[in-house]
Chains A and B, each alone.
Chain A
Amino acid sequence: MSELGPAIWATVPLFVIGLYGLVARRNLVRIMISLEIVGAATVTIMGAAAVALWKSMGEVLGLLALIAIGIEGALLIATATLMTRTLGTFDVIVFKKKDEGGEEK
Chain B
Amino acid sequence: MIEVFILLMGAATLFAAATLWDEDLVRAAAALVAVFLLSGLALLSIGAWFIGAMQVLLGAGAVAILAIYAAVTASQRREVLKAPEAGKIAAVTLAILGFSIGFLTISTPGMITFYSSTAKSIAKVLFSDLGLMAALSVLLLVALIASAYVIRYVSIQEVKEHE
B18: nearest chain-A partner, CB-CB: A17
A37–B19 CB distance below 8 A: yes
Q: Give the complex CA separation of A88 and B104 in angstroms.
A: 48
User: Which residues of B, 1-45, contact A by the 8 Å Cβ criterion?
Assistant: 2, 5-6, 9-10, 12-13, 16-17, 19-20, 25, 28-29, 32, 35-36, 39, 42-43
A56–B121 CB distance below 8 A: yes
Inter-chain contacts of B125 with A (CB < 8 A): 55-57, 59-60
Inter-chain contacts of B85 with A (CB < 8 A): none
Inter-chain contacts of A34 with B (CB < 8 A): 19-20
Closest CB in chain A relative to B144 CB, distance in Å: 5
A12: nearest chain-B partner, CB-CB: B98
A5–B9 CB distance below 8 A: no
Q: 1/0 contact trace for B130-163 toward A, CB 8 Å?
A: 1001100100110010011001100100110010
Q: Give the complex CA separation of A17 and B28 in angstroms.
A: 13
Inter-chain contacts of B140 with A (CB < 8 A): 68, 71
A46–B20 CB distance below 8 A: no
Inter-chain contacts of B73 with A (CB < 8 A): 81, 84
A50–B115 CB distance below 8 A: yes
> Is A93 among interface residues, defined by CB-CB distance under 8 A?
no
Contact for A47 among B43, B67, B101, CB less than 8 A: B43
Q: Offer 15 A-B interface pairs, CB within 8 angstroms, sorted by A.
A: A10-B9, A10-B10, A20-B20, A27-B79, A40-B12, A43-B59, A50-B117, A54-B113, A59-B117, A60-B126, A62-B51, A66-B55, A75-B147, A77-B70, A86-B162
Please give 6 more A-B residue pairs, beta carbons under 8 A apart, in addition to A10-B98, A29-B28: A10-B101, A14-B9, A29-B70, A59-B117, A68-B140, A89-B76
